[in-house]
Amino acid sequence: MADDLNSVKTYHHGRLRQALLEAAEAVIAERGVDGFSLRETARRAGVSPAAPAHHFGSARGLLTALASEAFRRFGDALEAADAMAESRAGRMRAQGAAYVLFALQERAKFELMWRYALIDPDDPDYQQASRRAFLILDSASRGEGASASPGSLDPAMAPSIACWSLVHGFARLALDGAFGTEEGAAERAARALLPAVLRHLTL
Partner DNA sequence: TGTACATCAGTGAACGCGCGTTCACTGATGTAC
DSSP, residue by residue, 74-143: HHHHHHHHHHH--SHHHHHHHHHHHHHHHHHHTHHHHHHHT-TTTS-TT-HHHHHHHHHHHHHHHHHHHS
Q: Which of 9, 151, 183, 184 binds a second copy (CB under 8 A)?
A: 151
The count of residues in the chain is 203
Report the residue from 14, 32, 49, 57 that binds a second copy according to the rule CB under 8 A. 32
Name the residues that contact DNA, by CB under 7 A.
10-14, 16, 36-40, 46-51, 53-55, 58-60
Tell me how far, at minimum, the Cβ of 32 lies from a second copy, in Å. 6
How far apart are the two ends of the chain, measured CA to CA in Å? 59
Residues 54, 115 contacting (CB under 8 angstroms): no
Question: Do residues 146 and 135 lie in contact, with contact meaning Cβ atoms separated by under 8 Å?
Answer: yes
Q: Binders of a second copy: how many residues, by CB under 8 A?
A: 49
Interface with a second copy, residue 110, by CB under 8 A: no
**Least Å from the CB of residue 158 to a second copy:** 4
- In sequence order, the 6+-apart residues with CB closer than 8 A to the CB of 10 are 4
| Contact window for a second copy (CB under 8 A) among 10-18, 32-40, 59-67, 75-83 | 32-40
Binding partner at 127 among a second copy, DNA, none, C-beta below 5 to 8 Å by kind: none
Binding segment for a second copy (CB under 8 A), chosen from 6-14, 42-50, 52-60, 157-165, is 157-165
Q: Which residues, 6 or more positions from 49, have their beta carbon under 8 angstroms from its beta carbon? A: 38, 39, 42, 43
Candidates 24, 27, 33, 45; binder of a second copy (CB under 8 A) is 33
The answer to whether residue 74 forms part of the interface with a second copy (CB under 8 A) is no
1's contact among a second copy, DNA, none, with CB below 5 to 8 A by partner kind, is none
**Minimum separation from the CB atom of position 199 to a second copy (A):** 8
For residue 47, count CB atoms less than 10 angstroms from its CB and return exposed for 0-12, middle for 13-18, buried for 19 or more: middle
Residues that bind a second copy (CB under 8 A): 32-35, 114, 116-118, 121-122, 134, 150-151, 153, 155, 157-159, 161-173, 176-181, 185, 188-189, 192-193, 196-197, 199-203
